């Protein structure tokens, strides 16, 4: 009885550790073989080596493709390719689907065209479509040549949609029935399958023209009178999607209505595919991932063990943007060099004004970006939210600005410097609140992703703005 | 035929707009009624008012609880409570489960104990457990008194686990069978249900002592020979969870193995509940939410329309931390006031060094935090990753530091100032890389959440460190 194994994450960690141990031994034995050229010793090592490789093979064969993907992602490049070579080639396709984009690239690079074709041929049309953009064009053509007409059409349809669209995520494994048969007939029909498609929680009811008329939930089918007609027990109020719909919207609908599968129909209502919850979970995960990554100034997910140069490429774009905004802020300070020369305390105090503004602006913008993404805020509510944020920033400005103003007064023994500090903090927080509402709302209105670069942008405003406000006030009132 | 409606998000937006229109009309009519006291006019307005309220009631009755929750979240406080009053009281319970924590608080505040008890009584034990922490204690006791023994035990069990544990998320709606019956018998048994539990994709197979022996997938049941015994068709290699398991680990397992439901067993193997994918989707969503929020320095999710004072409370903690770190950075600059007095260009250039360090450090720390959270990095790999990050930062330091060094040379006509700038940039990037690897790895080793405060912490190091390195180098080489 294997039900009561350790919890899944521990089991996975154990597998990883085991594979790592085997790889280590592998390296050790190889080193030994290389070191001593005596044929007799070599023979023993050869045997150990073989046994070791066998053990590794055996371990890998037992693992779920998702687990192998995890292990591949957790290994440094050399070891990763060693393991990848040992995985049974008929599993290559499904594993390539499971690994992260960055790791997939390294695996595909290590395979020749022949291996890639073999791997791709194991996949369904919709899976192939997921993999196709990463494959050499020649390989895709060759695989396409081997498909039947229906599959080729499905593949082309899936490839015609962009990554963020429902059409690119749907699959074509549908169980379809007519409305005028009895539940008994449906049950008998299902029994003829060797296996029902993954995640089948409902059967799609169509008419003669393939137009979706409703869905029959399996849960309903199981408790219904066998003599009842499908039309009596099916649901007609169905959440459907179009292939051009946004995948993130679809994921929100899955979340909202607790869906497992949902039909995809074209503009005429013809059933063309289905979405499954596992794809939607991936969408949610990727969405949040890309939000965190772009907040941190990373272009895309990174292979932890990628060569240094790949990481540099992934990160340079945001660093360059940041460099420009930092340079602008620096020039703003440059304008006030005279004032700083005159009162050097300004140089020490100005980063506080800018820093608090940046933190507060990031709080506001994050909240607004989230609300826009979840559809909880309409752009016409910006005005109202702005007034609220103003309130928050005035309170924070007076309280925290007051605290830091008193500290500045005490440190530099100048009441007016403390007052300027408090005023500058308050004004910069007001600027932060204003930009925090304005920037994402405008981005959204212009049809851009409001999350992208929001953090860098807001910091640019609060840095340059903070320096300008503080040094400007100081020039006017303290000089 | 309602299958071919508009896409779900549009439909939802329409509903929201409709409700908003009705509320506006409601306000308008109320104003009219208040303004004119002529009884005749009043009667007409009264009628319009009544019709309006009826329409709103009708609209709300048609909506899915999740949609009502969405509408409540999207409305300012006054309108929200107006709508909440109009929702049929027998739906209060399910809607309270769907709204965000922040909005739930406002709704519960508006209800008296009697209404709360009525709402809570509609819920299952596991749902009640979700709601209980937000309810007044008196209400929970009263509801508990009305439960039967089994439900009370389930509620107490669910309440005994913390929010992030499997035990707090599992439900108790199980379909259990014995292994020694035929599939035919199972089908007949299922037909006796009025309705199968939500998401039922498998039936749990137990022995006389309630010990889990395997699971029978419905997909398998439907294609199996009716005469076959359950023991022949059930799967015994099952992913199981324990109630004390971490919910995020469970969510990862659901994602990895594409699960819909999974059994929860105690340490003896006795089946005590099940997890469903919809709960896991919520866990994934909340996990990413809290990551983004804590990166931005927000303590928790915020009700967009909450009073100003609530927002201030939510944000002050991180602002205070930020204020302290900014103050430290300011004191570092204070130490070098002499150098700045002597060469005021330093004041203008120093924020560039600090800013780029902060951006780069955030890139590193985000990557490491993610890798730790997804289990792709073991703390013992920190050394290796540190060397890699060092490589990245040296390249970035030389390239971008070189660019900005040349600009500084050109702007201030001082080659040595440019050189100091480049050196300081490189050193600060190395500091950023080191701290970016060290901080989350240490946090993880100490059993803390590596994401929490990572951004504020790394910025503290790169700000103070950047100022110190740049001004220190300048003092030594330029004075």
Note the Cα B223 to chain centre separation in Å.
Answer: 39
What does the block give as tokens for A362? Answer: 């990031």
- Yes or no, beta carbons of B200 and A214 under 8 Å apart: no
Residue A371 is predicted with a pLDDT of 82
What does the block give as tokens for A203? Answer: 């059967």
d(C-alpha A245, C-alpha B120), whole Å: 37
DSSP calls for A319-331 = HHHHHHHHHHHHH
How near does any CA of chain A get to the CA of B127, in Å? Answer: 15
Helix axes B345-373, B415-445, angle to 10 degrees: 30
What does the block give as tokens for A258? Answer: 């607790």
Q: Which helix (DSSP H) or strand (DSSP E) does residue B10 occupy? A: helix B8-35
What does the block give as tokens for A354? Answer: 């800018």
- Yes or no, beta carbons of B308 and A371 under 8 Å apart: no
The yes-or-no verdict on residue A35 having pLDDT over 80 is: no
- For the ranges A76-85, A299-308, A417-426, the maximum mean pLDDT occurs at A417-426
- Yes or no, beta carbons of A359 and B297 under 8 Å apart: yes
What does the block give as tokens for B65? Answer: 């609880």
- Which of B1, B304, B325 comes nearest A236 by C-beta? B1
Q: Nearest 10 degrees: CA dihedral of A150, A151, A155, A157?
A: 20
Catalogue all structural domains in chain A, each as residue range(s) with its CATH number.
Answer: 8-167 (1.25.60.10), 176-277 (3.10.580.10), 308-478 (1.10.357.20)
- Yes or no, beta carbons of B258 and A199 under 8 Å apart: yes
User: Would the ipTM clear 0.95, i.e. be above it?
Assistant: no
Nearest to B222 by CA among A144, A51, A201: A201
d(C-alpha A383, C-alpha B290), whole Å: 27
Determine the length of chain B: 479
What does the block give as tokens for A233? Answer: 């027990």
How many Cβ atoms from other residues are within 10 Å of residue B126's Cβ?
Answer: 22
Maximum pairwise Cα distance, chain A: 94
The yes-or-no verdict on residue A1 having pLDDT over 60 is: no
- Yes or no, beta carbons of B360 and A315 under 8 Å apart: yes
Note the Cα A34 to chain centre separation in Å.
Answer: 44
Residue A342, SS3 per DSSP: helix
A237 to chain B: which residues are within 8 Å by CB?
Answer: 2-3
How near does any CA of chain A get to the CA of B133, in Å? Answer: 23
Nearest to A90 by CA among A115, A66, A109: A115
Q: Sign of the C-alpha dihedral, residues B417, B422, B425, B431?
A: negative
Task: Give φ, ψ of B204 to 5 degrees.
Answer: -90, 130
A66 to chain B: which residues are within 8 Å by CB?
Answer: 256-257
Q: Sign of the C-alpha dihedral, residues B16, B17, B22, B23?
A: positive
Report yes or no: B209 at the A interface, CB cutoff 8 Å.
no
A334 to chain B: which residues are within 8 Å by CB?
Answer: 345, 348, 411
pLDDT in tens, chain B (479 residues): 444 455 677 778 888 888 888 888 888 877 776 666 555 556 777 777 788 888 888 888 888 998 999 899 888 888 899 899 888 888 899 999 999 888 998 999 999 989 999 998 888 888 888 888 889 988 888 888 888 888 888 888 888 888 889 999 999 988 999 999 999 999 999 999 998 999 999 999 999 999 999 999 999 999 999 999 999 999 998 999 999 999 988 998 998 899 999 999 999 999 999 999 999 998 988 887 777 777 667 777 777 777 888 888 888 888 898 899 999 999 999 999 999 999 999 999 999 999 999 999 988 988 888 788 777 787 778 888 899 999 999 999 999 999 999 999 999 999 999 999 999 999 999 999 999 999 989 888 888 877 777 888 899 999 999 999 999 999 999 98
What is the per-residue pLDDT across A223-272, written as a single tens digit (0 to 9) for each? 999 999 999 999 998 999 999 999 988 998 999 899 999 999 999 999 99
- Yes or no, beta carbons of A4 and B269 under 8 Å apart: yes
- Yes or no, beta carbons of B295 and A298 under 8 Å apart: no
d(C-alpha A224, C-alpha A186), whole Å: 12
What is the per-residue pLDDT across A128-169, written as a single tens digit (0 to 9) for each? 888 888 889 888 888 888 888 888 888 888 888 888 899 999
Interface mutation vs chain A, best among B179, B299, B326, B341, most A CBs within 10 Å: B326
d(C-alpha A128, C-alpha A158), whole Å: 9
Do A392 and A426 touch, CB atoms closer than 8 A?
no
Contacts 24+ apart (CB under 8 A), B8-14: B8/A239, B8/A241, B8/A249, B8/A250, B8/A252, B8/A253, B8/A256, B8/A257, B9/A246, B9/A249, B9/A252, B9/A253, B9/A375, B12/A375, B12/B67, B12/B70, B13/A375
A64 to chain B: which residues are within 8 Å by CB?
Answer: 256-257
Residue B3 is predicted with a pLDDT of 45
Report yes or no: B164 at the A interface, CB cutoff 8 Å.
no
Nearest to B331 by CA among A459, A404, A172: A404
Interface mutation vs chain B, best among A5, A246, A258, A429, most B CBs within 10 Å: A258
Report yes or no: A344 at the B interface, CB cutoff 8 Å.
yes
On the CB side of A294, CA atoms within 13 Å amount to 14
Q: Which helix (DSSP H) or strand (DSSP E) does residue A183 occupy? A: helix A183-191
B3 to chain A: which residues are within 8 Å by CB?
Answer: 212-214, 236-238, 240, 265, 269
Residue B39 is predicted with a pLDDT of 54
Report yes or no: B24 at the A interface, CB cutoff 8 Å.
no
The yes-or-no verdict on residue A42 having pLDDT over 70 is: no
Beta strands in A233-323 (DSSP E): 261-265, 271-276
d(C-alpha A120, C-alpha A98), whole Å: 14
Interface mutation vs chain B, best among A204, A281, A320, A382, most B CBs within 10 Å: A281
B404 to chain A: which residues are within 8 Å by CB?
Answer: 323, 327
- Please name the residues in contact with B279: beta carbons below 8 A apart, sequence gap of 6 or more: B169, B171
Residue A448 is predicted with a pLDDT of 80
Note the Cα A445 to chain centre separation in Å.
Answer: 24
Cα angle A461, A462, A464 (rounded to 5 degrees) comes to: 65
pLDDT bin (cut points 50, 70, 90) of residue A334 is very high
What is the per-residue pLDDT across A432-468, written as a single tens digit (0 to 9) for each? 999 999 998 988 888 887 777 788 889 999 999 999 9
- Please name the residues in contact with B148: beta carbons below 8 A apart, sequence gap of 6 or more: none
Chain B contacts in chain A segment 359-398 (CB below 8 A): 359-360, 362-363, 365-367, 370-371, 375-378, 384-385, 388-389, 391-392, 395-396
What does the block give as tokens for A225? Answer: 């009178």
| Nearest chain B residue to A429, by CA | B319
- State how beta strands B261-265 and B271-276 pair: antiparallel
Beta strands in B212-287 (DSSP E): 212-217, 261-265, 271-276
Residue A275, SS3 per DSSP: strand
Report yes or no: B249 at the A interface, CB cutoff 8 Å.
yes
Mean pLDDT estimate for chain A: 88
d(C-alpha A128, C-alpha A122), whole Å: 9
- Which of A74, A282, A295 comes nearest B292 by C-beta? A295
Residue B461 is predicted with a pLDDT of 94
Do A112 and A118 touch, CB atoms closer than 8 A?
no
Average of pLDDT values for A180-198? 93
How many Cβ atoms from other residues are within 10 Å of residue B19's Cβ?
Answer: 25
DSSP calls for A160-171 = TS-TTBHHHH-B
d(C-alpha B223, C-alpha B241), whole Å: 28
d(C-alpha A133, C-alpha A163), whole Å: 10
d(C-alpha B443, C-alpha A311), whole Å: 24
Do B76 and B50 touch, CB atoms closer than 8 A?
no
- Tokens 């702005």 correspond to A386
What is the per-residue pLDDT across A350-391, written as a single tens digit (0 to 9) for each? 999 999 999 899 889 888 887 887 777 877 788 888 999 999
Residue A232, SS3 per DSSP: helix
The yes-or-no verdict on residue A335 having pLDDT over 80 is: yes
d(C-alpha B289, C-alpha A291), whole Å: 10
How near does any CA of chain A get to the CA of B40, in Å? Answer: 37
- Please name the residues in contact with A206: beta carbons below 8 A apart, sequence gap of 6 or more: A176, A177, A178, A212, A213, A271
Report yes or no: B14 at the A interface, CB cutoff 8 Å.
no
d(C-alpha B108, C-alpha B81), whole Å: 10
Residue B62 is predicted with a pLDDT of 86
Q: Sign of the C-alpha dihedral, residues B79, B81, B82, B83?
A: positive
Nearest to A172 by CA among A284, A260, A271: A271
Residue A36 is predicted with a pLDDT of 61
d(C-alpha A44, C-alpha B21), whole Å: 84
């Amino acid at each position: 009885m294997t039900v009561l194994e350790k919890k899944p994450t521990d089991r996975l960690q154990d597998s990883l550790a085991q594979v790592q141990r085997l790889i280590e031994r592998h390296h050790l034995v190889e080193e030994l073989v290389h070191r001593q050229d005596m044929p007799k010793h070599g023979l023993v090592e050869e045997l150990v080596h073989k046994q070791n490789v066998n053990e590794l093979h055996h371990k890998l064969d037992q693992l779920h493709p998702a687990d192998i993907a995890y292990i591949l992602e957790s290994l440094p490049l050399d070891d990763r390719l060693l393991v990848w070579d040992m995985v049974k080639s008929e599993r290559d396709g499904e594993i390539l689907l499971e690994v992260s984009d960055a790791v997939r690239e390294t695996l595909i690079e290590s395979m020749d065209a022949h291996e890639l074709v073999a791997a791709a041929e194991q996949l369904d049309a919709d899976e192939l479509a997921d993999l196709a953009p990463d494959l050499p064009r020649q390989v895709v053509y060759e695989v396409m040549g081997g498909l039947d007409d229906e599959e080729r059409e499905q593949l082309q349809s899936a490839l015609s949609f962009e990554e963020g669209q429902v059409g690119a995520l749907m699959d074509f494994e549908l169980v379809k029935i007519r409305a005028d048969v009895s539940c008994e007939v449906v049950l008998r029909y299902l029994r003829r399958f060797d296996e029902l498609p993954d995640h089948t929680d409902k059967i799609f009811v169509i008419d003669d023209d393939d137009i979706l008329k409703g869905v029959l939930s399996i849960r309903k089918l199981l408790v219904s009178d066998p003599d009842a007609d499908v039309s009596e027990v099916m649901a007609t109020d169905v959440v459907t999607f179009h292939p051009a719909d946004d995948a993130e919207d679809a994921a929100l609908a899955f979340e909202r209505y607790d869906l497992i599968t949902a039909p995809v129909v074209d503009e005429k209502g013809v059933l063309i595919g289905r979405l499954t919850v596992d794809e939607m979970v991936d969408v949610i995960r990727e969405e949040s991932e890309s939000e965190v990554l772009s907040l941190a100034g990373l272009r895309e997910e990174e292979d932890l063990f990628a060569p240094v140069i790949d990481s540099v490429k992934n990160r340079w774009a945001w660093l360059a943007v940041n460099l420009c905004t930092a340079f602008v802020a620096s020039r703003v300070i440059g304008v006030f060099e005279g004032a700083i020369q005159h009162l050097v305390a300004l140089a020490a105090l100005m980063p506080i004004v800018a820093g608090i503004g940046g933190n507060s602006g990031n709080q506001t913008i994050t909240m607004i970006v989230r609300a826009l993404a979840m559809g909880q805020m309409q752009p016409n509510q910006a005005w109202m939210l702005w007034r609220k944020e103003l309130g928050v920033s005035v309170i924070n400005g007076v309280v925290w600005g007051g605290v830091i103003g008193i500290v500045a007064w005490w440190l530099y023994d100048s009441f007016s410097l403390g007052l300027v500090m408090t005023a500058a903090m308050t004004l910069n927080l007001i600027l932060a609140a204003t930009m925090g509402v304005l920037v994402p709302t405008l981005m959204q209105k212009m049809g851009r992703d409001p999350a992208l670069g929001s953090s860098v942008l807001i910091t640019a405003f609060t840095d340059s703005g903070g320096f300008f406000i503080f040094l400007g006030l100081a020039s006017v009132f303290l000089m």
